[in-house]
Structure 1
Amino acid sequence: MVAAHDEIADWYEEEFLAGQRGRDPLGIDRAIRDLLGEGSGVCLEIGCGTGVHAVLVRELGWTPVGVDLSAGMLRHARGRLPVARADAGRLPLRDNSVPAVVSVMVHTDMPEYPAVLREVARVLEPGGVFVHVGVHPCFCGGFADRSDPAAVVLKPGYLDGHWTKESWTEQGIRDKVGASHWPLPALLNAFLDAGPTPRRFTEGGPPLPLVLGVATTTPPDTHRTPRP
């Protein structure tokens, strides 16, 4: 299977990320620190891409491990963390097997993200934490024009769940690989339907939030029925 991100993997690593190293303009690192916090044991990153968040995860005490569908992205990630090529909707992990999972700026790459959230709930240990950091559904998407740094113009389209390559810039990722969109209620309901309990939220990125962060926790007495 050829993943959409295979074609942009080198550009993403060598050009797109190069302009962001050492900076956190959207508050992504801040959200990970706030929502994941310090801990120990394996922290699985779904859609790990080139593995750029592994350093921060290690700083927090966790042991990062990544999965991604794109072989091109994983080629760059292997020097940063242990990785496996896998579908986030069918993780190669036992039930109740990891204490932490993170998803960072990738949920729009996963058309079946609600199913991914259910899979995350399956592999989390009782008491485990899941951290989602993604583009803010209210202010990002084909309906949002962010070309003016001082303002965001929102057009009709937010309420329509859709996939699109429409983007306000040709310097980003979405015009190249497209993005799936869920309005805020649909996204939050997907967290609730997956089972773990939401416990903390955060936003980041001026002038209107570009990032929404959510942390959920699996109840300590939760034990999943093994998947057939």
Structure 2
Amino acid sequence: MTRSGVQRQLGELLGGGSGLCLEVGCGTGVHAEQLRGLGWTPVGVDLSAGMLAYGKQKLPVVRADATRLPIRDGVVPAVVAMLVHTDMPDYPGVLREIGRVLRPGGVFVHVGVHPAFCGGFADRSDPAAVVIRPGYLDGRWTKDSWTTEGVRNRVGATHFPLPVLVQAVLDAGLTLTGCTEGGGPVPTTLGLKAIRA
């Protein structure tokens, strides 16, 4: 999973625009510059005060729970969620909030770790031959990992199988209009674009 690959997916799915773009789970604000480059005005929300201490240097931020966004109904033209869904145990609830704050015709872009090929069930020690073990459909939080590198084996991650993830987008009142995969040879990221009717 490379930063340039994630940026490519964000650019392809969101595209150019104007007005507010809310980044849910903005963390340190790493995507703010790209959002500005696409014409959007980024604003971030995150639960972590520590992350926001860095993020506020790159974009306006607010500390809030993504399942209870401090925003009126139907006013935001664009929302992005970048590599955060595995950190949010109630991502379906987050998606419902995103559907609530998006204005009609507003766009939502999700780019996250690929649910079919990444997780505690996937042995990625050989990128050319990823081995999928039982557990993909379990949909659970786990610290299981194929590697001791990084943070997932220490802090854990929530896994949402692909049908659960897609159904949560649809249940939020959003219409899927685009999909991308990134990384290789076996995909590491999945990108979705949806519009609020």
User: Could you say whether these structures have the same fold, taking a TM-score greater than 0.5 normalized by the shorter chain as the test?
Assistant: yes
Aligned length: 197
The answer (yes or no) to whether the contact 1:26–1:211 under 8 Å persists in 2 is: no
Match of 2:28 in 1: 50
The residue that corresponds to 1:141 in the other structure is 119
Contact 1:46 1:101 in 2 (8 A): yes
| Equivalences for residues 87-166 of structure 1 within 5 A | 87-166=65-144
1:180-219 alignment, distance < 5 Å: 180-219=158-197
Q: Which amino acid aligns with 1:215?
A: K
1:79 counterpart = 2:60: no
CA distance in 2, matches of 1:171, 1:67: 28
Q: Return the alpha-carbon distance in structure 1 between the equivalents of residues 2 and 137 of structure 2.
A: 29
1:151: Cα distance to partner? Answer: 2.1
Please state whether the residue corresponding to 2:154 is helix, strand or coil: helix
Moved over 3 A (4+): 23-26
SS at match of 1:57: helix
Deviation at 1:176, TM superposition (A): 2.5
What is the rounded CA distance, in whole Å, between the counterparts of 1:149 and 1:218 in structure 2?
36
Contact persistence 2:128–2:186 (CA under 8 A): no
| Cα distance in structure 2, aligned partners of 1:74 and 1:212 | 25
The Cα of 1:171 is off from its aligned counterpart by 2.2
Residues 91 and 165 of structure 1, relative CA distance in 2, 3 Å threshold = same
Distance in 1 separating the partners of 2:3 and 2:127: 12
**Cα drift, residue 25 of structure 1:** 5.7
1:26 Cα offset (Å): 6.7
SS at match of 1:27: helix
Aligned-residue offset at 1:98: 0.8
Q: Which runs of 5+ in 1 are unaligned?
A: 1-22, 220-228
**Equivalent position to 1:168, from 142, 146, 152:** 146
Q: Partners of 2:54 and 2:144 in 1: how far apart?
A: 27
For normalisation by structure 2, the TM-score amounts to: 0.96
Point out the structure with max Rg over C-alpha: 1
Instruction: Determine the C-alpha separation between the residues in 1 that align with 2:154 and 2:138.
Output: 21
Q: Is the 8 A contact 2:2 2:183 kept in 1?
A: no
Equivalent position of 1:10 in the other structure: none
> How much identity, in percent, do the aligned residues show?
66
Q: Deviations over 1:87-111 (max 9, x none)?
A: 0000011111110000000001111
What residue in structure 2 maps to residue 65 of structure 1? Answer: 43
Letter in 1 for 2:61: V
TM-score by length of 1: 0.84
Distance (Å, rounded) in 1 between the aligned partners of 2:194 and 2:172: 10
